[in-house]
Structure 1
Amino acid sequence: MSAHVHDLVGIGVGPFNLGLACLLDPLPEVDAVFLEARDDLAWHPGLLLDDATLQVPFLADLVTMADPTSRWSFLSYLKEVGRLYPFYVRESFYPLRREYDDYCRWAAHRLGTVRFGCAVERVEHDGELYTVHTRSGETYRARRIALGVGTRPRVPAGVEGVLEAGGVALHSADYLHRKAELQALGSVTVVGSGQSAAEIYHQLLAESPDHDYDLTWLTRSPRFFSMEYTKLTLELTSPEYTDYFQRLPATTRENLLREQRSLYKGISGDLVDAISDLHYQLRVAGEGPRTTLLTNTSVRSASWDGRTHHLALHHDETDEPFALRTEGLVLATGYAAGVPAFLEPVRDRLRLDEQGRYRATCSYAVDLAGEEVFVQNAEEHTHGFVAPDLGMGAYRNSHIIAALTGREVYPIEKQVAVQSFGVPEHLREASA
């Protein structure tokens, strides 16, 4: 075992821990290392469609919202790869997903603190330090841990076994890897309400004239709703709202997250319109489309009979059960965070709620002491729907770095919104 002690070991190198590594890079007083199980960084490789863009502006990169002068910014990347002026001429704030993926890889390979091929097997604590054991036999000792292991594909209750049952059934995370298999079938069904479902449906619909499949899109939502981008609504991503959300009772937070789905789980308005326009274009061209779109539809169960998937469905508004047979099935049903198994030896040191989820502090710490183990994108239930938002990364990392160093290295915005959340102090005093 190495005698060297790091100030921080980051486990997982997605955009959030990668952003932390970038922001720590100019701080010699913090000795950090970041471990990634994969041999290279790949950001949602199964969804890197050629024309897909981020749903946040380029300012929501790894570092800019904390340090706009950082050499790890998206604009620095564009300058180095010779694409700064083309991006300027393009006149869009929203980078392509493919170039964001390349940008992250660009940063990861230039940082000296990222280690690839280091899958963590278990984390232990000896009463003083954490010891991180990897499958390859390496160990890393550290005073603190930053968990950036990401989220895992979510499969709805009742259909948990469908991906292993046989046939062509997959989560949207694997879409591009198995797209050719889907398009060789006679029928394909997409299940989901958000951006990924819409992007997959749009691409399959656009390419349907070159193939021979029926295409169905099912969503539980009452409509194919677009995300709301009005400016006062976007203030719900502000530091003030995050602080307000944390102080609410747990049941209130859960109810709010359900009500706020259209703010972060909807479809971009441009894509909704593009799908409608594509339907019209295909009709004019006399090429169909052979497609069905169904809202208010829940998938209750799914089974594989060796030839087709049988979906037991329920129309939630008419309270009517019905069924669908499909050869191909794509579950664009989102992702969920969880506590990884490698933390089991230190589970008694973590703050967990009655559902086994992290109870994160305002500095994103989840250990009992509130200063040793930090989480990235596993605190939606405590901090609000912005947890998975790329624009949240630099803000969260500024808090984590302040906890690590005992000082506010990167100034943390305290007041952004023009509106008040909760009862303003001056009105509370006036009513006393």
Structure 2
Amino acid sequence: MTTLLPSMRTRMRRTALRLAARRAEGIDVSSLRAVPAAWRFPLQRDALDPVPALAEARSRGEVVRLARLLGTDVWLVTGHAAARTVLSDSDSFGNDVRHLFGRQGRTPAEQIGGLGMTDDPEHQRLRRVLTPEFTRRRLARLDEAVSRVVADCLDDLEAHGPEVDLVERFGFAVPFRVICELLGLPEVDRDEFRRRGSARFDLTTGGLGPFAATAGTREFLIDLVARERRSPFLPDGLLAGIIAQHGHELDDVEIGGLADGVFVGGYETSASMLSLGAYVLCRDPVAHELVRTGSPEQVDAVVEELLRYICPVQVAFPRFARRPVTVAGVPMSQGDLVVVSLSAAGRDPAVRPDRGDFDPLAAPGGQLAFGHGMHRCVGAELARMELRAGLVGLTRRFPAMQVSDPAELRFTELSIVYGLEALPVRLA
């Protein structure tokens, strides 16, 4: 076990004292105006690669202390084995960190919860509502819809070519339209929801921006559920189905929270994967040809390697230690916070001796892009469907597509979900 440099510890100690003075009853993550510089490296990258500081931290051990706040240690997990241990051990680690959100409960929309920040039995009660809708067999009903959306977006690209922004017209458009069809949502302002979706993961303004963006989206969905109860108007879809089947046991806030998790988790992360995946294929002719002309099994293997290599969700939902526990030889105290770096775990040399470089011919394995254990992403199979259909369609329609100006690439700066803000390409 090792700790960060003394200068970093000093800055973090000063930050902790300021937080203590500002809010004597505890940490209010939602009011933080900036992420301290010494804590940012797990959320930063050098283009597609983690910054050197993340690899350096992992070289000192699978678990290192990131910070100490108000007497509580915050641990960073970077090793693949340690990550799987923490993510799967729900007896030793809990996800309900709602005590860190001081503004919790001011309005229904500001209540933090959903699948990501709840523990059993509440987590199981909510998850069993969604799980049957996201099995491979149940998702087969969306095959036609996904293919239609991809074809429409490819037509739109061609109509606006030969130079277009792939993020705007494809990476975002495909998963957004698919998730709207899945939920049965009415027409909404797409630009507004895209902005809210990105803002809730963007930590450049600390916790204020994500908290406000989340509350705004949840407020819309909670109101939608309430209106649907009073006078049904939604078309057939997941949201109307949940209200019809489980409305007697779930209130508007709970259903709105589930819809919010599906809505944002179903398009923001997939949008990042589609755009970044297309960028990787533009740079790697072997992977490009495997996706364009390969068998379904070969396409699946490339998709799994892309998930490992890109891993857009950089860190998992934070955990807290329910009891004293030791992970990778590092003792943790009850109440300690644990942050698992999914991107670092996927590049762990213990799993990939080649330092995690992208290899479309490698045997699939080592990816934790959807998490692991009880809180593994419920929409993982839908995300794979979109990636397969989107990347195969893109490479077949535009086999000569290239990045038109690498200098215009814009990556997110400090976000839980890493992605491209712009990807200018020449289609032919």
The TM-score, its normalising length taken from structure 2, stands at: 0.26
Higher relative contact order (CA closer than 8 Å, sequence separation 6+): 2
More strand by share: 1
The TM-score, its normalising length taken from structure 1, stands at: 0.25
